Protein backbone atom coordinates (compact mmCIF):
# COMPACT_ATOMS: atom_id res chain seq x y z
CA UNK A 1 0.00 0.00 0.00
CA UNK A 2 1.28 3.45 -0.92
CA UNK A 3 1.90 5.95 1.88
CA UNK A 4 -0.85 8.34 0.72
CA UNK A 5 -3.35 5.48 0.89
CA UNK A 6 -2.43 4.46 4.43
CA UNK A 7 -1.59 7.74 6.20
CA UNK A 8 -3.46 10.93 6.90
CA UNK A 9 -1.81 14.18 5.85
CA UNK A 10 -0.94 14.86 9.49
CA UNK A 11 0.84 11.48 9.78
CA UNK A 12 3.09 12.01 6.75
CA UNK A 13 6.78 12.81 6.97
CA UNK A 14 7.98 16.07 5.47
CA UNK A 15 9.37 14.15 2.49
CA UNK A 16 6.07 12.34 1.90
CA UNK A 17 4.11 15.59 2.30
CA UNK A 18 6.28 17.45 -0.20
CA UNK A 19 6.10 14.60 -2.73
CA UNK A 20 2.31 15.00 -2.87
CA UNK A 21 2.66 18.39 -4.54
CA UNK A 22 2.39 17.83 -8.30
CA UNK A 23 3.87 21.28 -9.05
CA UNK A 24 0.91 22.36 -11.15
CA UNK A 25 1.26 25.88 -9.70
CA UNK A 26 -2.49 26.47 -9.31
CA UNK A 27 -2.33 27.13 -5.58
CA UNK A 28 0.16 29.93 -6.32
CA UNK A 29 -2.24 31.78 -8.60
CA UNK A 30 -3.48 35.02 -7.05
CA UNK A 31 -7.08 34.76 -5.96
CA UNK A 32 -9.75 37.37 -5.37
CA UNK A 33 -12.58 36.93 -2.89
CA UNK A 34 -15.98 38.52 -3.41
CA UNK A 35 -16.66 40.31 -0.13
CA UNK A 36 -20.43 39.80 -0.42
CA UNK A 37 -20.58 36.13 -1.41
CA UNK A 38 -17.21 34.78 -0.26
CA UNK A 39 -16.74 33.28 -3.74
CA UNK A 40 -13.10 32.85 -4.78
CA UNK A 41 -11.98 33.81 -8.29
CA UNK A 42 -8.64 32.57 -9.59
CA UNK A 43 -6.49 34.85 -11.72
CA UNK A 44 -3.72 33.84 -14.09
CA UNK A 45 -1.25 35.93 -12.08
CA UNK A 46 1.53 34.43 -9.95
CA UNK A 47 4.20 35.93 -7.74
CA UNK A 48 7.67 36.71 -9.00
CA UNK A 49 9.20 33.67 -7.28
CA UNK A 50 7.42 31.07 -9.43
CA UNK A 51 9.46 29.52 -12.21
CA UNK A 52 6.89 29.35 -15.00
CA UNK A 53 8.54 26.32 -16.63
CA UNK A 54 8.75 24.07 -13.58
CA UNK A 55 5.90 25.76 -11.63
CA UNK A 56 8.13 25.57 -8.57
CA UNK A 57 8.87 28.37 -6.15
CA UNK A 58 12.42 29.60 -6.53
CA UNK A 59 12.45 30.76 -2.87
CA UNK A 60 10.37 27.96 -1.37
CA UNK A 61 12.00 27.82 2.07
CA UNK A 62 11.73 31.60 2.57
CA UNK A 63 8.44 32.18 0.73
CA UNK A 64 6.26 32.95 3.74
CA UNK A 65 8.79 35.51 4.99
CA UNK A 66 9.36 37.13 1.59
CA UNK A 67 5.66 37.10 0.69
CA UNK A 68 3.60 37.50 3.88
CA UNK A 69 0.37 36.48 2.07
CA UNK A 70 1.90 33.17 0.96
CA UNK A 71 0.26 30.34 2.86
CA UNK A 72 2.20 27.42 4.28
CA UNK A 73 -0.40 24.74 3.66
CA UNK A 74 1.13 22.30 6.12
CA UNK A 75 0.24 24.62 8.97
CA UNK A 76 -3.49 24.51 8.29
CA UNK A 77 -6.58 22.32 8.19
CA UNK A 78 -7.28 21.31 4.61
CA UNK A 79 -10.99 20.96 5.13
CA UNK A 80 -11.07 24.77 5.35
CA UNK A 81 -9.22 25.21 2.05
CA UNK A 82 -12.02 24.68 -0.41
CA UNK A 83 -10.28 27.15 -2.72
CA UNK A 84 -7.56 24.63 -3.46
CA UNK A 85 -7.87 23.35 -7.03
CA UNK A 86 -10.00 20.23 -7.45
CA UNK A 87 -6.88 18.51 -8.81
CA UNK A 88 -4.75 19.23 -5.72
CA UNK A 89 -3.49 16.04 -4.05
CA UNK A 90 -3.91 17.56 -0.58
CA UNK A 91 -7.54 18.38 -1.30
CA UNK A 92 -8.20 15.04 -3.02
CA UNK A 93 -6.81 13.04 -0.10
CA UNK A 94 -8.67 15.20 2.44
CA UNK A 95 -11.86 14.46 0.49
CA UNK A 96 -11.10 10.71 0.43
CA UNK A 97 -10.40 10.64 -3.31
CA UNK A 98 -7.53 8.91 -5.15
CA UNK A 99 -4.66 10.65 -6.90
CA UNK A 100 -5.21 11.05 -10.66
CA UNK A 101 -3.27 8.94 -13.16
CA UNK A 102 -1.21 11.96 -14.26
CA UNK A 103 0.07 12.67 -10.72
CA UNK A 104 3.88 12.19 -10.64
CA UNK A 105 3.62 9.65 -7.80
CA UNK A 106 1.40 7.51 -10.07
CA UNK A 107 2.91 8.26 -13.49
CA UNK A 108 6.54 8.26 -12.35
CA UNK A 109 7.33 11.50 -14.20
CA UNK A 110 6.92 15.20 -13.44
CA UNK A 111 6.14 15.87 -17.11
CA UNK A 112 2.80 14.08 -16.79
CA UNK A 113 1.32 17.18 -15.12
CA UNK A 114 2.08 19.32 -18.18
CA UNK A 115 1.11 16.53 -20.57
CA UNK A 116 -2.30 16.29 -18.88
CA UNK A 117 -2.82 20.06 -19.25
CA UNK A 118 -3.00 20.58 -15.49
CA UNK A 119 0.00 22.91 -15.15
CA UNK A 120 -0.24 26.72 -15.23
CA UNK A 121 2.70 27.00 -17.64
CA UNK A 122 0.55 27.79 -20.68
CA UNK A 123 -1.35 30.74 -19.19
CA UNK A 124 0.27 32.16 -16.05
CA UNK A 125 1.94 35.57 -15.96
CA UNK A 126 4.06 37.27 -13.31
CA UNK A 127 2.54 39.92 -11.07
CA UNK A 128 5.09 42.49 -12.28
CA UNK A 129 3.31 42.40 -15.66
CA UNK A 130 -0.10 43.22 -14.17
CA UNK A 131 -1.78 46.44 -13.08
CA UNK A 132 -5.20 45.12 -12.04
CA UNK A 133 -5.78 41.52 -10.94
CA UNK A 134 -9.47 41.75 -11.90
CA UNK A 135 -8.42 42.00 -15.55
CA UNK A 136 -6.92 38.50 -15.29
CA UNK A 137 -9.67 36.41 -13.70
CA UNK A 138 -9.91 32.96 -15.26
CA UNK A 139 -13.49 31.75 -14.94
CA UNK A 140 -12.78 28.47 -16.71
CA UNK A 141 -10.33 27.12 -14.12
CA UNK A 142 -11.82 24.07 -12.44
CA UNK A 143 -11.80 24.91 -8.75
21-48 burial: b if 16+ Cβ within 10 Å, else e: bbbbbbbbbbeeeeeeeeeebbbbbbbe
Q: Give the C-alpha separation, 75 to 63, whole Å.
A: 14
Give the pLDDT confidence score for residue 83 in this predicted structure: 76
Give the pLDDT confidence score for residue 76 in this predicted structure: 59
Give the pLDDT confidence score for residue 75 in this predicted structure: 60
Give the pLDDT confidence score for residue 69 in this predicted structure: 82
- Partners of 137 in the β-ladder: 43
Q: Give the C-alpha separation, 58 to 67, whole Å.
A: 12
The pTM of the full predicted model, rounded to 2 decimals, is 0.84
Give the model's confidence band at 142: pLDDT under 50 very low, under 70 low, under 90 confident, else very high.
low
The yes-or-no verdict on residue 112 having pLDDT over 90 is yes
Give the pLDDT confidence score for residue 46 in this predicted structure: 94
- What share of the chain has pLDDT > 90, as a percent? 56
Give the pLDDT confidence score for residue 25 in this predicted structure: 92
The domain limits of the chain are 3-136
Give residue-wise pLDDT tens across range 39-95.
Answer: 888 899 999 999 999 998 999 889 888 888 887 776 656 666 677 888 999 989 988
Give residue-wise pLDDT tens across range 15-55.
Answer: 999 999 999 999 889 989 888 988 888 899 999 999 999 99
Amino acid sequence: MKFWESKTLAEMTTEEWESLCDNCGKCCLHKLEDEDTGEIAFTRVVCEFIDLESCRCTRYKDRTILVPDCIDLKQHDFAAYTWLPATCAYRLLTDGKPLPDWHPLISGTAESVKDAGVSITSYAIKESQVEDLEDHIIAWLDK
